[in-house]
């Protein structure tokens, strides 16, 4: 199968080389990218935008490879590729396109690792590489992308720690690293991202505590740290995130009470704290908020009735089992007593019967004796 794909790719490349007289250098690269050599003027294709006879934008829902020669499209500002059909790696040469402002690569056959060379893209504002099979760690060189506003690397197989260098991205508005295999603590430096509006680190293996320094993210609207291995208590400092609309801390190992300071989050719409080990009761300040509140599966957390539903169910089941056992024991004791009483009554009847029989026999003997005497 791989040989067949290789042969097809080889034939297409040869055809593109033969067509070089009809296409400029940039179009040859695009034709290889899209596996389409029929374009004499690629700037006429709806997937391509040109300016001054140079390609500045490539948008395609189908792509087959990203050739190293892509670095020849030096004026490229936007690269959007959404669906691939065979294993594709991201070439380091992509990092030479310093005019790039937007990269969006999506496809389940994206393999390999993230090239550190992407850190050279000093004009990049959006970097979205999602839904693939990328492995290894996030390059620390991404911390040099000073103009970056959006970094989305979700739904891959990235591992290792979150680079502390990401704290240098002072213009970042959205950071989504969800659904990977990232581990280690949340970097303290993320507290520097004061323009951040969305922080999603969910569905990873992140450990340690929730940093109080996250209170510095004053523009944050959504914070999702669910499905990790976070420990410790919920920092009351999160109550200072005045623009927060969604807070999801579910499916961790958080302990302690729910901070009443969360009641200051007047813009909050959703608060999800389920599947932790929280204790105490829900603060009245939080109850006053008009929000969707999820607190299930916190065994030590009291509900508005004074006791957690899970605990209540356990108590009711225990009481029910105790009642059943008590009834069975009482039934057994009563049955045993009945058997004993029955035996005693039987013995008494037997004794009475014997006594009566003896008395009758004596009477009969006496009568016979009398009868004999009378006869004499």
Q: Residues 289-324: pLDDT tens digits?
A: 999 999 999 999 987 644 555 555 677 787 888 888
Which residue would you say has higher pLDDT here, 262 or 41? Answer: 262
Cβ-defined contacts of 85-92 (< 8 Å, 24+): 85/109, 86/5, 87/111, 88/63, 88/64, 90/66, 90/114, 90/115, 90/118, 90/129, 91/66, 91/67, 91/115, 92/68, 92/116, 92/117
Residue-wise pLDDT for 226-267, tens only, equals 999 999 999 999 999 999 999 999 999 999 999 999 999 999
pLDDT at 376: 38
Q: Which CATH number belongs to the domain containing residue 230 in this structure?
A: 3.80.10.10
Average predicted confidence (pLDDT) for the chain: 85
Asked whether residue 371 carries a pLDDT value surpassing 50, the answer given is no
CB atoms within 10 A of CB 172: 25
Asked if residue 340 belongs to a domain, the reply is no
pLDDT at 230: 99
Mean of pLDDT values over 188-209? 98
Asked if residue 80 belongs to a domain, the reply is yes
Mean of pLDDT values over 25-31? 88
Asked if residue 299 belongs to a domain, the reply is yes
Which residue would you say has higher pLDDT here, 341 or 203? Answer: 203
Asked whether residue 349 carries a pLDDT value surpassing 70, the answer given is no
Phi, psi of 79, rounded to the nearest 5 degrees: -130, 115
Mean of pLDDT values over 60-88? 90
Is 245:268 a contact under the CB 8 Å cutoff? yes
Asked if residue 15 belongs to a domain, the reply is no
- Integer Cα distance of 30 and 55 in angstroms: 9
Which residue would you say has higher pLDDT here, 41 or 340? Answer: 41
Give the CA distances from residue 155 to residues 89, 125, 158, 180, in Å, rounded to whole numbers and listed in that order.
16, 20, 9, 6
**What's the 3-state SS for the chain?**
CHHHHHHHHHHHHHHHHHHHHCCCHHHHHHHHHHCCCCCCCHHHCCCEEEECCEEEEEEECCECCCCHHHHHCCCCCEEEECCECCCEECCHHHHHCCCCCEEEEECCCEECECCHHHHHCCCCCEEEEECCCCECCCCHHHHHCCCCCEEECCCCCCEEECCHHHHHCCCCCEEECCCCEEEECCCHHHHHCCCCCEEECCCCEEEECCCHHHHHCCCCCEEECCCCEEEECCCHHHHHCCCCCEEECCCCEEEECCCHHHHHCCCCCEEECCCCEEEEECCHHHHCCCCEEECCCCCEEECCCCCCHHHHHHHHHHHHHHHHHHHHHHHHHHHHHHHHHHHHHHHHHHHHHHHHHHHHHHHHHHHHHHHHHHHC
Total count of domains within the chain? 1
Phi, psi of 198, rounded to the nearest 5 degrees: -130, 125
pTM over 0.95, yes/no = no
pLDDT classification of 190: cutoffs 50, 70, 90: very high
Residue-wise pLDDT for 136-163, tens only, equals 999 999 999 999 999 999 999 999 999 9
Mean of pLDDT values over 5-15? 49
pLDDT at 310: 55
Structural domain range at position 55: 47-320
Which residue would you say has higher pLDDT here, 209 or 339? Answer: 209
Asked if residue 14 belongs to a domain, the reply is no
pLDDT at 251: 99
Asked if residue 24 belongs to a domain, the reply is no
- H/E stretch holding 198: strand 198-200
Least confident of 55-59, 64-68, 167-171, 328-332: 328-332
Asked if residue 361 belongs to a domain, the reply is no
Residue % of the chain over a pLDDT of 70: 78
Asked if residue 28 belongs to a domain, the reply is no
Asked whether residue 65 carries a pLDDT value surpassing 60, the answer given is yes
């Amino acid at each position: 199968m791989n040989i067949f794909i290789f042969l097809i790719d080889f034939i297409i490349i040869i055809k593109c080389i033969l067509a070089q007289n009809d296409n400029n250098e940039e179009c040859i690269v695009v034709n290889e990218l899209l596996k389409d050599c029929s374009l004499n003027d690629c700037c006429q294709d709806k997937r391509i935008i040109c300016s001054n006879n140079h390609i500045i934008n490539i948008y395609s829902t189908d792509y087959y490879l990203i050739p190293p020669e892509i670095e020849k499209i030096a004026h490229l500002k936007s690269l959007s590729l959404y669906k691939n059909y065979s294993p594709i790696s991201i070439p380091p040469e992509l990092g030479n396109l310093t005019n790039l402002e937007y990269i969006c690569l999506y496809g389940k056959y994206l393999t390999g690792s993230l090239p550190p060379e992407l850190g050279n893209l000093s004009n990049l504002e959006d970097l979205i590489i999602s839904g693939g099979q990328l492995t290894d760690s996030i390059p620390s060189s991404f911390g040099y992308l000073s103009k970056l506003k959006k970094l989305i690397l979700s739904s891959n197989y990235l591992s290792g720690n979150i680079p502390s260098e990401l704290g240098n991205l002072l213009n970042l508005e959205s950071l989504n690293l969800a659904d990977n295999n990232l581990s280690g603590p949340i970097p303290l430096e993320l507290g520097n991202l004061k323009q951040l509006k969305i922080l999603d680190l969910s569905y990873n293996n992140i450990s340690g505590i929730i940093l109080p320094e996250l209170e510095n993210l004053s523009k944050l609207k959504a914070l999702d740290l669910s499905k990790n291995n976070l420990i410790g208590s919920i920092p009351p400092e999160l109550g200072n995130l005045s623009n927060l609309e969604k807070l999801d801390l579910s499916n961790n190992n958080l302990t302690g009470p729910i901070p009443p300071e969360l009641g200051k989050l007047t813009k909050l719409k959703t608060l999800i704290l389920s599947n932790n080990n929280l204790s105490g009761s829900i603060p009245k300040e939080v109850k006053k908020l008009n929000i969707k509140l999820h607190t299930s599966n916190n065994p030590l957390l009291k509900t508005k009735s004074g006791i957690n539903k899970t605990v209540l169910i356990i108590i009711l089941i225990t009481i029910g089992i105790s009642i059943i056992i008590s009834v069975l024991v009482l039934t057994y004791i009563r049955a045993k007593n009945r058997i004993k009483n029955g035996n005693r009554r039987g013995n008494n009847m037997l004794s009475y019967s014997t006594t009566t029989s003896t008395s009758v026999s004596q009477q009969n003997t006496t009568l016979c004796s009398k009868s004999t005497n009378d006869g004499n």
